[in-house]
Structure 1
Amino acid sequence: MAFSELSAGEPLGRHLTVRRVESVESTATVRHVDQLETDELQAFYDLLEDGQPLPAEETALEAGDIVVFTDYFRVEAI
């Protein structure tokens, strides 16, 4: 499985990206990709496929979200 972390962009928190991570803190909230709402899922796929930051206001994903897909990904603010 994969884990993803979401992050936001310039200035901090205005854009989001995802980063593959190897481990997750035991206190982290983790959602499986199939638990995402339709718009969140599309935004997640866009972030993975395009590799371009996404304006934070265009999605309900938030920095710090952990998404399990084929690996772990963290949503990060940039």
Structure 2
Amino acid sequence: MATSSTTSRSLTLRRVESVDAATTVQHVDQLDEETLEAFYRALEGGRSLAATGTDLELGTVVVATDYYRVEPR
């Protein structure tokens, strides 16, 4: 689950072109079902997602067809 420091925040996804070696990267196949659904809803709707109920951490890059960095809204 998300850490307590992000539980009251909204997160956003920003497409990035590259990732440095120090960045935490997760493939969509590694996300639990709830997090995966929230990730795709946010991508499709162009909207934020709640930090509560997801395993997404700030700064993590999720790899789908592109790279998306998890950022505060």
Q: Normalization by structure 1: what TM-score?
A: 0.75
Number of equivalences: 66
TM-fit CA distance, 1:40: 1.0
| Displacement after TM superposition at 1:60 (Å) | 2.4
Structure 1 vs Structure 2 CA RMSD: 1.4
* 2:55 aligns with one of 56, 60, 67: 60
2:70 aligned residue? 75
- Within 1, Cα distance between the matches of 2:38 and 2:31? 10
Unpaired runs of at least 5, structure 2: 1-7
Q: Give the residue type in structure 1 aligned to 2:28.
A: V
Q: Which 4+ residue blocks in structure 1 deviate beyond 4 angstroms?
A: none
Aligned residue in 2 for 1:14: 9
Matched with 2:35 is 40
Describe the SS at the equivalent of 1:70.
coil
Q: Which residue of 1 aligns with 2:20?
A: 25
Q: Give 3-state SS (helix, strand or coil) of 1:24's partner.
A: coil
**Unmatched runs of 5 consecutive residues or more in structure 1:** 1-12
